[in-house]
Copies of this chain bind each other. A is one copy, B any other.
Amino acid sequence: MGYDEIMKLFLERGFLMPSCEIYSDALAGFWDYGPHGNTVKNRYVDLWRRELVRRDGMNEIDGSQVMSKKVFVASGHLESFVDPIVRCEKCGATHRADRLLQEATGKLVPERLPVEQLDQMILETGLKCPSCKGPLGKARRFNLMFRLGVGAADDDSYLRPETCQSIFVDFPRLFKVMRLKLPIGIAQFGKSFRNEIAPRQGVMRLREFYQAEIEVFFNPEKANNLDKYEELRDQTINLDLDGTLLQGVKCSEAFESKHVPNKLVAYYLALLHQFYDKAGLDMKRSRFRRLGGQEKAFYAEEAFDFEVETSLGWVELVACNYRTGYDLAAHAKVSGQDISVLDGDKKVVPHVFELSMGIDRSIYCIMEHAYAQEPERSVVKLRPDLAPITVGILPLVNKDGIPEFSKKIYNPLKTRYDVFYDESGSVGRRYRRLDEIGCPACITVDYQTLQDQTVTLRDRDSMKQIRIKSDQIETTLDKILRGEDLFKQ
């Protein structure tokens, strides 16, 4: 299913809305989650917390989004977190120079090319403004961070462009007060901000977006000394090495063939693969793509993008960066603080391997993979514990005590589950509306209910129906949320 169908569903069924859409000065790249989108997002983050953070014994923090200037002096973002832009000398429109060139030449143009090289390429290709065909000025670097002035003195500060900087800056105190030992993952879910010149494709490139980042701190001398590696050594992943796709490579093979730099990286790629499998992505359409020199972020020594195939092509969901000791050493230098820690009896500046996940686009891709257009309905086959509504309560008719019985079922459920009470339209139409937003179960209350206290439980995927006792609804919903298939026979 395509991007347009999914975005239509998002807009018309309460998943997403453009921010400030009633206003003429609404800005591109900012979106609001509606009620259903908000629930899916929260449930997705819970899954991340359960299957990555807690499973691996990580610590999770939640840092301030506004950070002081020196953080970004140290991290390199003030100098290096820039996009090359060109301004049309005729109409004044601003464009990303690398993107224009990429579209014009069909070749990959890394965003980190020197501006002189970009100017040269613009000259050679005779590139003009795509809006008005006017001549383009010189390329220049545009910093993607949003600046804020704090207090009466208007002190420099910035909205963080990635959540991980909070983790690096908090690392010394965390290591001490949480009594941590290497290797240790520190995780964070939260907002990041990038002043993109040309946000595009709805939720795929936003100016304000959710990240879930994991920074694994380890002693670089012990990157191959990881007991839990053994648990995942047979997990397979798909690797794209400079255009060559290796399907179903075992974690241990990836390490032994030196496709990945060490056991620790192999382990976390395998763990991430398992996570997305549980989240319901079609893993046959996934790959870890090793990035070439000019594609990597400025802080990464080795990098793998976890990508998934969609109607928009391959989409990056997680940047897996081996950041070495770059960040901690830089913060130590600029702050003047000692950021090394004890590993056994030796002081080390830990190295960092990072899993930097885009939440909004992960949700988009999971929805697209789960969406099916069947002859008589649209249905989103989300895994039950990601669905925005767990169960619909549907009175067959609005008379004869059936709504009253339905409310008696609905009321105690509503604080424990995401329940939707729907009494309008035919039952068939109500099923369709709930199928379309991915609700795994519907309960219909009918005349038989009044006699024997049984209700109809209808399955989203198979559309099968069974009758259950009304006092069995909670245990049944718990089973459905745990992923048990009650409709097999």
Contact = CB atoms under 8 A, between A and B. Distances in A.
Interface of A: 11-14, 17, 19-27, 29-35, 37-39, 41, 50-51, 54-55, 57, 59-71, 85, 87, 94, 142, 146-153, 155-157, 159, 166, 169-170, 172-174, 177-179, 191, 193, 195-197, 207-208, 331, 334-335, 337, 339, 414-416, 418, 421, 424
Residue of A50, A68, A146, A152 ringed by the most chain B CB atoms within 10 A: A152
Given A35-B59, A150-B195, A14 B174 contact: yes
Contacts of A68: 19-20, 23, 25-27
Contacts of A11: 177
Contacts of A207: 66, 150
Given A67-B19, A69-B25, A169-B20, A13 B146 contact: no
A64 B34 contact: no
B19 A41 contact: no
A33 B61 contact: yes
A65 B31 CA distance: 9
A232 to B, nearest CB: 14
Given A22-B172, A23-B68, A150-B27, A61 B85 contact: no
B172 A33 contact: no
A60 B38 contact: yes
Contacts of A166: 19, 32
B148 A148 contact: yes
Contacts of A31: 64
A172 B22 CA distance: 9
Contact of A65 (B14, B208, B335, B415): B208
Nearest to A38: B62
Nearest to A24: B70
A195 to B, nearest CB: 6
A427 B183 CA distance: 25
Given A12-B177, A19-B166, A85-B152, A157 B27 contact: yes
A153 B208 contact: no
A19 B152 contact: no
Interface core residue of A60, A62, A195 (most chain B CB under 10 Å) = A62
A22 B10 CA distance: 42
A19 B160 CA distance: 12
A446 B256 CA distance: 41
Contacts of A67: 19-20, 30
A152 B87 contact: yes
Contacts of A173: 17, 21, 34
Contacts of A416: 50
A32 B20 contact: no
A148 B151 contact: no
A37 B37 CA distance: 26
A60 B35 CA distance: 5
B38 A61 contact: yes
A172 B18 CA distance: 13
Nearest to A167: B32
17 contacts: A19-B63, A20-B68, A21-B169, A22-B335, A22-B339, A23-B70, A24-B335, A25-B69, A32-B63, A33-B61, A33-B62, A35-B174, A54-B414, A55-B414, A87-B152, A146-B148, A191-B191
Most buried by B among A54, A66, A166, A174: A66
B197 A151 contact: yes
Nearest to A55: B415
A68 B70 CA distance: 28
A174 B61 contact: no
A66 B30 contact: yes
A374 to B, nearest CB: 23
Nearest to A13: B177
